[in-house]
Amino acid sequence: IDGLRHGLVRYRAALLIAALGAVFSPVGIYFAHQLPEKILMLLFSLLMVMVAARMLRRERKDQGPNDHGHANWGQKNCMLDQQTGRFSWTAKCTATLAALGAVTGVVSGLLGVGGGFLIVPAFKQLTDVQMRGIVATSLMVISLISAIGVIGAFHAGVRIDGVGIVFIISSIVGMLIGRKLSARVPARALQVGFASICLVVAAYMLFSANA
């Protein structure tokens, strides 16, 4: 909601990715039930390392018609229109975002990641959206996919206990604080911070898998 209010969310892209993610998530869930837990943890760790490496790479800073000047026109699969500031919905861009949604759905079902671990680095690699816009769009995708899961869980009789409610409220407060701080933190620092978290998670999962 905060991202939409500030015009940071690429909501059409988020809707497309979320729709494909919801469709392909059961595929990942199926394979998750076929693989041993140790293999899943190793795959999760490998994914985190790959994401961190992708985020730590520095891009060549060439001027172009985009909102942060890190790409020439046509250099990315999805480019922002210079006049409108919105995506130019070419066939290549649409196919790219649809594929991202499908992959996100499969990996989310397989490894239980919320989608942000894939969407953030993928958006940075494939589009010329600025980091704050990437995070806001990623949050919308996660919210949409999560809402479907929550509704399904409630329908199945799952209920949230007191600890869960405290956790949810604390997460919301933390997110609001993070949104305020993100406006003051350089984009590169956000990337390095995200990559560092990925590496810490990967190290913990590798330790747990071998424990």
SS3 78: strand
Query: Domain span at residue 85?
Result: 2-158+186-210
Q: What is the pLDDT of residues 22-35, one digit of tens each?
A: 888 888 888 888 88
Q: Mention every residue, 6+ apart, whose C-beta is less than 8 A from residue 196.
A: 52
Tell me the longest C-alpha to C-alpha distance in the chain: 55
DSSP state of 6: T
- Give the pLDDT mean for 47-60: 77
DSSP type of residue 87: B
- Is 172 a domain residue? no
- 130 located within any domain: yes
CA 84, 71, 4: angle at the middle one, nearest 5? 40
Q: Cα-flanking dihedrals φ and ψ of residue 78, to 5°?
A: -125, 120
Is there a domain that residue 64 lies in?
yes
Kindly indicate the confidence band of residue 58, based on its pLDDT and cuts at 50, 70 and 90: low
Give residue 43's pLDDT: 87
Structural domain contains residue 166: no
pLDDT tens-digit map of 178-202: 888 877 888 788 888 888 988 998 8
In a domain, 95, yes or no: yes
Rg of the chain taking only CA atoms, in angstroms: 18
- 81-120 tens-digit pLDDT: 877 778 889 999 999 999 999 998 888 888 877 667 788 8
Q: What is the pLDDT of residues 157-172, one digit of tens each?
A: 888 899 999 999 999 9
Number of domains in the chain: 1
- What is the distance between the alpha carbons of residues 97 and 74, in angstroms, rounded to a whole number? 16
Query: pLDDT grade, residue 13 (50/70/90)?
Result: very high
Query: Which residues neighbour 125 within 8 Å (Cβ) at sequence distance 6 or greater?
Result: 54
